[in-house]
Amino acid sequence: MTIQAILDHKGRDVITISGQATLKDAADKMSVHGIAALIVKDGDAIAGITSEREIVCAIARYGELALAMPVTEILTRGGMFPIAPQASLKHAMNLMTRHHVRHLPVISNGKLAGIVSIGDIVKRRVEDLEMESNVLRDVYIAAR
């Protein structure tokens, strides 16, 4: 199974935000779209990813003043780990585990083609395992 299969199912829409937008703007955008992370852009370039976690940590550290901070102040410090659409789910899981990230931007031909979360990957993996289990059960029943 590949990352492309997840994008084919969930879509390729990616919500982005300017690095100069405030944390309040980012929180509002995440709330409106029902998402947990945003790709931060600097013009056409990807500057990083920010998520609810970084916003909460900034508020815990700086209090209410954090909401006026620019998004670039809280970009994921561990870096951004892009993945190709043809990459396997196993590769994505390894990247996420090794780098302790929950979102991977999908890059195809040098352009942003989507984003996948750990939730997307787990959901797809569970669906695959359920289908595998059903096939094995059917084969077992047919063989009896």
Phi-psi region of 116 (alpha: psi -120 to 50; beta: other; left: phi over 0): beta
Q: Work out the widest C-alpha separation in the chain, in whole angstroms.
A: 68
Q: How far from each other are the two terminal CA atoms of the chain, in whole angstroms? A: 31
Q: Kindly report the backbone phi and psi dihedral angles of residue 137, in degrees, each rounded to the nearest multiple of 5, phi listed first.
A: -65, -45
CA 139 vs CA 87, 120, 125, 143: distances in Å: 30, 29, 21, 6
- Per-run averaged pLDDT (10 residues), the chain, 144 residues: 93 93 98 95 90 94 97 80 95 94 93 94 88 82 83
CATH H superfamily, domain 3-143? CBS-domain (3.10.580.10)
Specify the length of the chain in residues. Answer: 144
Ordered by start, the domain boundaries in the chain are 3-143
The pLDDT of residue 93 = 95
Q: What pTM was estimated for this model as a whole?
A: 0.84
d(CA 79, CA 85): 20
What would the 3-class secondary structure string for 85-109 be?
A: CCCEHHHHHHHHHHHCCCEEEEEEC
